[in-house]
Amino acid sequence: MPLYLALVCVGGLIGVSSLPIYKRETAGVAELIYRLCLGISALLFVAAIIPRGANALDLTLPLGLPWIGMRLHLDALTAFFLAVVNLGGATASVYAIGYGAHVSNPVRVAAFYAAFLAGMNLVVLAADAYTFLVAWEFMSLASWALVLTHHHDAENRRASYIYLLMASFGALALLMAFGVLGGVSGAYDFASIREAPRDSWQTGLVLALVLLGAGSKAGLAPLHVWLPLAHPAAPSHVSALMSGVMTKVAIYGFIRIVFDLLGPPAFWWSIEPMTFGAISAVIAILFATLQSDLKKLLAYSTIENIGVIFIGLGLSLAFKANGMLVPAAVAFSAALFHIFNHSLFKSLLFFGAGAVLTATGERNIERLGGLIHSMPKTAFLFLGGCFAIAALPPLNGFVSEWLMFQAILLSPTMPQWILKLLVPAVGVALALSAALGASCYVRAYGVAFLGRPRSDEAREAKEVDQWSLGAMSFLLGLSLTAGLLPGFFIDTISPVAKAFIGGRMPAQNEVGWLSIAPVAESRSSYNGMLVFVLIVASAWAARWLIYKYWSGATRRAPAWDCGYIEPSTATQYTGSSFAQPIRRTLGVIAFSARERLDMPLPGETRAARFSVQIQDRIFNFLYLPITSAVARISNWLNALNFLSIQEYLGLVFAALVLLLVGVAR
Amino acid sequence: MTIIFDLFAQILQMALVLLAAPLLIGFVRKVKAHLLRRQGPPIVQPWRDLLRLLRKETVLAENASWFYRAAPYFIFATTWVAASLTPTFENGLMFSWAADLIAIIALLGSARFLLALAGMDVGTSFGGIGSSREAMFGSLAEPATIMIVFTVSLVAGSTQLSEIASYMLAHSELRVSVGMALIALLIVAIAENGRVPVDNPATHLELTMVHEAMILEYSGRHLALIELASALKLLLYISLIDCMFFPWGMAPHGAGVVEMATGGVAFVFKLAVAGVLLAVFETSTAKMRVFRVPDFLGAGLMLGLLATLLVFVTRSL
C-alpha cells in the first residue's frame, strides 16, 4: 500500500511538472505547482512513515526495458531517504510559494522543480540498475535545467556546463559499476545482484567506481569542484534541495550498493570513504571560511558535511567487517542522523540566504551587515541554523557529531594496523572541521547580519514574506526537536541499522530522562533536553535576579571603540579580514594562499595595494592537467578531419580488418 | 532521601563554582602582585567589582541589537551549566550524565560562538579583531581538546567525567599518553582562558587584546555576566585538569557529609596550587605575538594527536 501511494505521488509530480503545457497563462501557475508539490511531498512523507512491518515491499511495472520491467521496492533504508527527500521537498515548496515569485521565469523553474522532486523519489524507490540509472539521470538533468535558470549570466552557464560534465562522468562510473555488479549474465535487478558471487578484484573495482559515481554527485573531494559553482547558481529553494537533499540521494546510492548489494564487507572497504571523507571535511570547511559569497559558502559547507557522513559510513564498514555490530550500528546511525540533520539545517540556511538575496539583491557578505535590525525574524532563524550546523549543543548538529565521536572512541579494539593509524587521523580531521565550522559560521553570520550595514541595499532591506519565514521556522523547530529529543530519532532510524548492519544500538527510550547512551550509560550519555532546560533556566534566573535586586537601567549612547568610532562602515571587520588569521595559518598549506602588498615608497603618490591570491590545489593539479590533456588529444585527432578520400577508405579497411581479427580469435 | 541528598550536592556544586570563580581570579591577581612585590587588591576584589557593575546602569551602543543584549545571559548560563556538570568536590553528581566530557567542551564552544558574535554586533573594528582572533584560537584549541578527551576516555573506557575520575583514582599508574595529554591540556587551558602568553587579561592596549577586544562595548550588568563567565571558565578548566589527572580527595558518589567536606578542602587546596602555578607562569613569561599562538596551539594539537595514536596502538602506554 505505501509503495502504491508513493508511486502515485511520483506520477503526480511528473504530471504536475507538465502542467504549464496545458495552462499557458503564467500568473499563478508557478504558485499552483508549488502548492501541489507541497501536498504531494507531504503525502509521500506519510507513505514513508506508514508502518510496513519488517518486510520490504516489491513491485514490478511493465515499463522500461522488455523482459526486465521496472522494479521498485520500499524497505527501511528507502523509507528513511524517502522521508528525508520529501521533508526537504515539502518545506522547499512552502518556501517557494513565497520566494518563487521573485525568480525570473517562475513557471519554467516550477516545472523543472516538480520533475526534480520526482527524479529524486524515483532513485530511492528503484530496485534494478536500469530504473536506478534512468532516475539518476532524470534527477541530474532536471537539476541541470534548474541551475541554468539565470542563463544570461556567463558564470552560471559555465557552472551548469561543469555540472553537466561531472554528472555525466558520475553516471558513467555508476553505469560501469552496475555493469561489473551484474556480471556477464546480466541480471540487473537488485535481488539477483545481491545473490551473485564476486571476486575480490571485482568488489574493489565496484567500490572505486561507486565512490567516483556517488561521490561526485555528493560532492566528495576531489570531485567536488562543480558543487560550489552549481548549487549557488540555482534559485535558493532549488539550492536548498540540491545541497540538502540531492547530495543525500547520492549517499543513498553509495549505501545501497556498498552496504546492501556488495554483500558482507571486508575491512579495507572502509579506507576509501574514511580518507576521502576526512579530506573533504577539512578542505571544504577551509574554503567555506574564506568565501564571501553567502551561497557559495553554504555549498562548500555542504561538502564538509558530506565528508562527515562518509567518515561515519566508513567507520561503520570497518566495524561491520570486524564483526563489531553495536559500534557499527552507532557509526551507521550517526551517519544517517547526520544526513537527516544536515538536510534540515542546510535547507534552513539556504532559505535564509535566499531571503537575504530577495531583501537586498546581494549574495556577497562584504556588502551586507546589520541585517539583524532590518530583518530580525530571518536573522533569528538564520542564527538558529548557524548554531545547528556549527555542531553546538543543544541543537541537532551536535548530537550526530557526538555520536560520530563515540563511534571513533569504540574503534581501538579493531585489529588492523592501518585502521589503528587511520582512525585517529580521521578523528582529528573531524574535530578540526567541527571547530573550523564554528568559526566559519561566526564569520558568515557576524559579517552578514551583525555590525553596521555596508551598503544601501543592506540598510534598506525589508523582512521577507510569511511563507518563507514559515518554512524556516518549521525547519528550526525540527532542528531543535531533534537536538532535544535525539533518542526518539535514533530509535526511529535503528530499524535501518538493524536491516543493513545486523546489529542495532540499545533502544534509547529505555534510557531514563530522555537521555541518549550509544552503548551504556556508564560509558557515555548526553541529554540535550536537560542541558537546554538548565541553560534557559539559569539565563532566565540571572536576568530575573539582576532586574529585581540590582539594576535594569539601560541607556543608549554612541559606541565606545576606545574613544573614537570612525563613521565610515568600511572600518568594520570584513569577511576577508575576519578570515585572515585562518588564511595565514592554515590556508598557506591547504591552498597556497599568497598575500601581496604593493607599498609605494615615501614620496610616491600612488595608492598602496594589497591583494590575496587563493588557489584550489586540487583544481590545479588534478583537473587542469586532465583538461589540457583532453584538449591536446582532440587537437591532435583533429588532423583526421582533413584526410583525403583514399586515406579515409584506408582507415575504414584497417578498422574492418582489426574487427575481423578480433572476432576470429 | 538519596535523591534529596544528590540534589543538595548538585546545588551546592552550582553555588560553589559560582562563588569560588571570582575568588580564584582575585587569588591569582594577589599572588601575581606579591611576585612583583606589590601589595595587590584583596582577594574579594573581583566580587566587589562584579557587584558594582551589576548595580550600574548599562550603556548600550546605539546600534546594538537584541542579540547583543541577550548574548551575555546565555554566555553566562552556558558556562555555568558546563562548570556545574564538572565534578569538583564530589564525584557522580546528580546531573553528570546529562553531558559527558565531549558535551562539556562543546558547551564551552557554544559560549565562545555567542561571545565572538557579540563582539561583531556593534560594528567596531576592535570587536572584529577580537572575534576573528578568538575564532582562530578556537579552531585550533577545540580539536586539541577533543584529542585530549579521546586519550583520556580511551584510557578510562568512558567519556563520563565521573567515570574517568574514579578510574584515574583507582589506577594511578604513570602513562606516557596521559602525561602528553596533560601537557596538551595545560597549553589549551592557557589559550582558552586568554592568559599570558596568549592573551593578557590585564591589558587594555588595543592591538594586543583578544578577549578584552570582543567585550569592549559591554558595560554594566552585561559586562558583569561576561566577566563572571570567564572566571567560571578558568575554574572549569582547573576542575577538568583536577578531575582527569589529579582526582585525589574527591568524595565518591553518595558519600557522607564528612567526605564531602574533605573533598571540598581538597578542591580548594588544588585550586590554590593551580592559582599559584598560573601566577608564577604568567609572571615569568612574556606575551607572544598573535601569529605565534597557532604554533603554540599546534604543539598542543600534535601532542594530543600523538597521545591518541599511542593509545590506539598500545593499550599499556
Q: Write out pLDDT tens, residues B166-192.
A: 898 888 778 889 999 999 999 999 999
Same domain, A448 and A406: yes
- In terms of Cβ atoms closer than 10 Å to its own Cβ (0-12, 13-18, 19+), residue A244 is buried
Q: What pLDDT score was predicted for residue A400? A: 93
- B166 — contact with chain A (CB < 8 Å)? no
Domain-embedded: residue A569: no
- pLDDT at residue A25 greater than cutoff 70: no
Same domain, A459 and A586: no
- pLDDT at residue A436 greater than cutoff 90: yes
Sorting pLDDT into bands at 50, 70 and 90, what band is A59? confident
| Beta carbons of B74 and A531 less than 8 angstroms apart | no
Dihedral angle of Cα B38, B40, B43, B46, to the nearest 10 degrees: -140
Same domain, A452 and A504: yes
Q: What angle do CA A514, A498, A198 make, to 5 degrees?
A: 150
Sorting pLDDT into bands at 50, 70 and 90, what band is A17? confident
Q: What pLDDT score was predicted for residue B114? A: 96
- pLDDT at residue A615 greater than cutoff 90: no
**CB atoms A424 and B312 under 8 Å:** yes
Among chain B residues, CA nearest to A386: B113
Mean pLDDT across A97-110? 81
**CA B103 to CA A528: how far, in whole Å?**
9
Q: Among A476, A507, A530, where does a domain finish?
A: A530
Residues of B (228-267) whose Cβ lies below 8 Å from A: none
Domain-embedded: residue A75: no
Per-residue pLDDT of B47-101, as tens digits, reads 999 999 999 999 999 889 999 999 999 999 999 999 999 988 888 777 888 888 9
Q: What pLDDT score was predicted for residue B300? A: 94
Task: Give the Cβ contact number of residue A651 at 10 Å.
Answer: 12
Residue among A372, A527, A565 whose CB faces B65 most closely: A372
Same domain, A590 and A489: no
Same domain, A589 and A502: no
Q: What pLDDT score was predicted for residue A24? A: 65
Q: How far is A216 from chain B (nearest CA, A)?
A: 28
ipTM: 0.95
**CA B63 to CA A299: how far, in whole Å?**
31
**CA B306 to CA A421: how far, in whole Å?**
11
Per-residue pLDDT of B102-155, as tens digits, reads 999 999 999 999 999 999 999 888 889 999 999 999 999 999 999 999 999 999
Per-residue pLDDT of A559-611, as tens digits, reads 888 787 778 888 888 888 898 888 888 877 777 778 888 888 888 888 888 88
**CB atoms B123 and A452 under 8 Å:** yes
Domain-embedded: residue A277: yes
Same domain, A588 and A633: no
Q: Of B90, B45, B81, B67, which Cα lies nearest the Cα of B256?
A: B90
Same domain, A360 and A425: yes
Q: What pLDDT score was predicted for residue B308? A: 92
Q: What is the pTM of this model?
A: 0.94
- B132 — contact with chain A (CB < 8 Å)? yes
Q: What pLDDT score was predicted for residue A55? A: 67
Q: What pLDDT score was predicted for residue A584? A: 84
User: In 3-state terms, what secondary structure has residue A609?
Assistant: strand
Same domain, A341 and A487: yes
Domain-embedded: residue A470: yes
Same domain, A591 and A635: no
Going from N- to C-terminal start, the domains of chain B cover 2-313
Residue among A427, A515, A573 whose CB faces B128 most closely: A573
Per-residue pLDDT of B268-301, as tens digits, reads 999 999 999 999 999 999 888 888 889 999 999 9
- pLDDT at residue A298 greater than cutoff 70: yes
By percentage, how much of chain A surpasses pLDDT 90?
Answer: 55
Cβ-Cβ pairs closer than 8 A, A with B, add up to: 286
| Beta carbons of A364 and A448 less than 8 angstroms apart | no
Structural domains counted in chain A: 3
Per-residue pLDDT of A127-176, as tens digits, reads 889 899 999 999 999 999 999 988 888 999 999 999 999 999 999 999 99
**CB atoms A581 and B290 under 8 Å:** yes
Per-residue pLDDT of A508-566, as tens digits, reads 777 777 788 888 777 888 998 999 999 999 999 999 999 999 988 899 998 888 787 77
Residue among A515, A546, A555 whose CB faces B221 most closely: A546
- The counts of H helices and E strands in chain A are 28, 5
**CA A506 to CA A508: how far, in whole Å?**
6
Domain-embedded: residue A485: yes
Q: Of A230, A43, A258, which Cα lies nearest the Cα of A141?
A: A230
* Structural domain boundaries, residue A387: 264-530
Q: Can you read off the three cell numbers belonging to residue A295?
A: 551561497
Phi, psi angle pair for B61, to nearest 5°: -65, 150
Q: What is the DSSP string of A466-529?
A: HHHHHHHHHHHHHHHHHHH-HHHHHHHHHHHHHHHHS--PPPGGGSGGG-B-SS-TTT--B-HH
Chain mean pLDDT for chain A: 89
- pLDDT at residue B240 greater than cutoff 90: yes
Mean pLDDT across A259-272? 90
- pLDDT at residue B206 greater than cutoff 70: no
Residue among A438, A535, A550 whose CB faces B109 most closely: A438
Mutation site, A534, A544, A566, interface B, largest B CB count within 10 A:
A534
Name, in order, each residue with C-beta under 8 angstroms of A207's C-beta and a sequence gap of 6 or more: A258, A262, A269, A272
Q: What pLDDT score was predicted for residue B276? A: 96
